[in-house]
Chain A
Amino acid sequence: MQDPWISAIEVADLTQRFGAVLAVDRLSLSIPPGMFYGIVGPNGAGKTTTLMAMCGLREPTSGSIKIAGHDLRTDREAALAQLGIMMDGLSLPERLTATEILRYSAGLRGLDDGWRARAGDLLEILGLDAVPRTLIVEYSTGMRKKINLALAMLHRPRVLVLDEPFEAIDPVSAHSIEQVLRQYVDGGGTVVLSSHIMDFVERNCRRVAVVAGGRVLVEGPVEEVAAGSTLNERFVELVGADPVRPLEWLA
């Protein structure tokens, strides 16, 4: 059981510069434990950059990040041990099968034998046990998301950080992933995810942060952020959408 007084993730004044580009601008978030937490924003808002910094995959220009009370800069190993990570668009050891990569991950983390049962459950529920000889490099986008999720959950982390977990996958796969994540949160885990799928965020997340231009525009319980509209309408209102003039050549 997690300590309810310690934030699952605490981001304070996170700033990330890429040369002259300011991708994240003094962003602060306090994510309580035991809930679904959504980060939404337009493309280029700084969501993935923020998540990568949370996972220790990018050194912030300034600011601090704590995972379950462990500072990522000064207590990196303890902080990372709390995390399960699923990043979008990155490779895995591509020439392994699903079972092999889970065994590899279990070995790398020095897990006890309990991983075998958990791996079997995850492969079965996510439908990956049907292709035992297929290498990761041959996986479809949906299968990649699933094996990434299985890897993220295998060591029973306290916090899951998921970058776009539902992008480009079919509704059936999305449904199975959603069910697994719900069970995880019901068991006391914390899920922090970025998504463009407002319907999912509205349906599952208890709190949401709307990020644009590297800053948090608004953060709070989903109902409060939506303010009587749907989250999608409120998002467009907050971020601002330019009117699209009629294109005569399309007539």
Chain B
Amino acid sequence: MIRTLFALKLRLFRNGPHNERAFSLVTGLVLAALVIAGASLTADGVIHEGWIAVAFTVWGGMWLFGPLAQPRHDPSVISREWLRGYPLGSWRPAWALSWTELLGVGPLITLACLSSLVVLAAPGGMAAVAAAVAAVVAQLYLLIWAGKTVAALAAWLLQTRAGMTLAAVQTAIMLALSFAGWVLVAAWLLPRLGEGDTALVIPRAGQLPEPVIDVLAAWPTGWGYGAALAARDGAGTGPVLLPLAALLALGALSQLCWIALTARALSRPPRRASSRRPSVPGRGLSLPFATPQVAAVVSRELATWLRDPARGVELRSAWLTPLLMALIIAFTDWSWALPLVGPAAAVFGAMVAINTYALDGTALWQLLTTPGALKADVHGRMAAWALLFGLPSIALAAVLWAATGSPLGGAAVGGAIAAAAAGCAGAPLLALVMPAVGTDARDRIYPGQQAGDPTGGQMTIFPVALLAAILPGVIGGPWWVTALVAVLLAAAVLGMTPAITVRLLQQRGTHLLDAMASRDAAALRSSARAES
């Protein structure tokens, strides 16, 4: 069975999409080469070997936290659904599947990175190299199975409402650290920047403090590193064999956990997470300045944002991220930067609303067959976005400006207005132009199912919304000039973009429906080519 599943996975790799895998392979190999190069420089003392421990910690962290950062994705290549119907029990296929998990880009690039252990141990002679090779294998074994087990646990958790919240919190922590983690360092280097003082506090670099290295080496991600160094330094068999045995034991335990979780998934049909239901069926929404058609779409959008599991995770992470960023900034001397969290919230709101058409899936047919519905839909999506993300972002910037009295407050509010306009108008447009088609809405029960990977759209709207956020502040002048620029920019974006979106929807709507019915975005690309 193992051979059959290996052959199946190889075929799936061969016939499946290659872009993302090729990108990961090249990027991973480049990073691994950097670690190996760093390891080779430690012998001459150019780089302290403690930095290699840092690299292993980060690399191991990617295995552990990577699956949590993308809660929308089911990482398995061989679907559990395909095996559920065979009369094989659940443990046997789970055991066989576990070995196919070793086949992939992740294990390959990690093997390349870990080979730096051999480089580290090389000065110790052949015995040290042999021990380092064993450390590479043992460390790889642990990282793979720890990562796979975390991914399987995340997939299991995502079938529950509590798991969805957990996933949103984890995503928000990752994003907040990515976007605001640097503030901790920057505030340390430039503690008086808010007062206009650009004097740099230069830290002592080059060698990491010994206790830090000890801590990193004590974590499971550093056990292989510890064993290789012990072998190089001739520290005896105990310090070499003990971490290797621990790596193998923990790895085996993780593999067993993964097999148990997979066997459990194979032995029962997918669990249906109970959606949040209305306590009473919702009333219609009456909005000022909105036609009944637009108000109907706004009601639908608000209900969907609150009840759809995939959108729910995005909504929560989009709001938790700026709040956590504010928390990080509040711990530093850079409280003057707090109002900037407002425009950041608008940018995150735009990023999570980038795939709404694909998430709604083939429900588009109703809009395509209702007179006048396409225009109402675009305007309704924009209005709902403004209520959920846009206006609160502007309010957040204003409140933090009032609370901190920051000199950047005016620019932050202006930036929030411009970024909110860019997100409000840009998200439906990009959702239409770059849909990440996944499982259709009717079959999507929990966010772990393939809901489409909108990374391309997110990476497109991010610089657009960021540029809009920065522009009013860059133009400068008194606060009213900044506000005027922001309002004019917002008016221009909100005035022009929806018309383009409606027109594109009218032109490409049926092709988008085809793409979503067939789960193949190529149908949309071919229609775009035909139009051009």
Contact = CB atoms under 8 A, between A and B. Distances in A.
Interface of A: 55-59, 76-78, 80-81, 83, 85, 87, 89-100, 103-110, 132-138, 144, 151
A58 B512 CA distance: 11
Contacts of B307: 95, 135
A170 to B, nearest CB: 19
A99 B280 CA distance: 10
A178 to B, nearest CB: 24
Contact of A133 (B281, B291, B445): B281
Contacts of B369: 55-57, 80, 83, 85
Lowest 8 A-B CB distances belong to which pairs? A107-B296, A95-B307, A77-B371, A90-B362, A91-B441, A91-B363, A91-B442, A99-B281
A90 B366 CA distance: 9
A80 B308 CA distance: 29
A135 B365 contact: no
A120 to B, nearest CB: 12
Given A85-B369, A92-B363, A135 B277 contact: yes
B43 interface: no
A90 to B, nearest CB: 4
29 contacts: A55-B369, A57-B510, A57-B513, A58-B510, A77-B371, A77-B372, A89-B517, A90-B365, A90-B442, A91-B360, A91-B362, A92-B366, A93-B363, A95-B307, A96-B300, A96-B304, A100-B278, A100-B300, A104-B299, A105-B370, A107-B284, A107-B292, A107-B299, A108-B376, A109-B373, A133-B277, A135-B277, A137-B445, A151-B366
Interface residues of B, number: 44
A137 B442 contact: yes
Which of A55, A83, A99, A135 gathers the greatest number of chain B CB atoms within 10 Å?
Answer: A135
A144 B291 CA distance: 29
Given A80-B370, A91-B363, 12 more contacts: A56-B369, A77-B371, A89-B362, A91-B362, A91-B440, A93-B300, A94-B444, A100-B278, A108-B297, A108-B373, A110-B293, A135-B277
Contacts of B207: none
B interface majority secondary structure? helix
B371 A97 contact: no
Given A81-B371, A90-B362, A93-B360, A107 B295 contact: yes
Nearest to A96: B303
A58 B514 contact: yes
Contacts of B371: 76-78, 80-81, 109
A97 B276 CA distance: 11
B365 A57 contact: yes
Contacts of A98: 281
B275 A107 contact: no
Contacts of B362: 89-91
Interface in B328-372: 360-363, 365-372
A96 B285 CA distance: 14
A135 B373 contact: no
Nearest to B514: A58
Interface in B298-324: 299-300, 303-304, 307-308
Nearest to A101: B300
Contacts of B440: 91
Given A91-B363, A91-B442, A138 B275 contact: yes
Q: Among the interface residues B275, B308, B371, B517, which one has the most CB atoms of the partner chain A within 10 A?
A: B371
Contacts of A96: 300, 303-304
A133 B278 contact: yes
Given A77-B371, A90-B362, A107-B296, A100 B303 contact: yes
Nearest to A144: B442
Contacts of A106: 296
B282 interface: yes
Contact of A110 (B292, B360, B363): B292
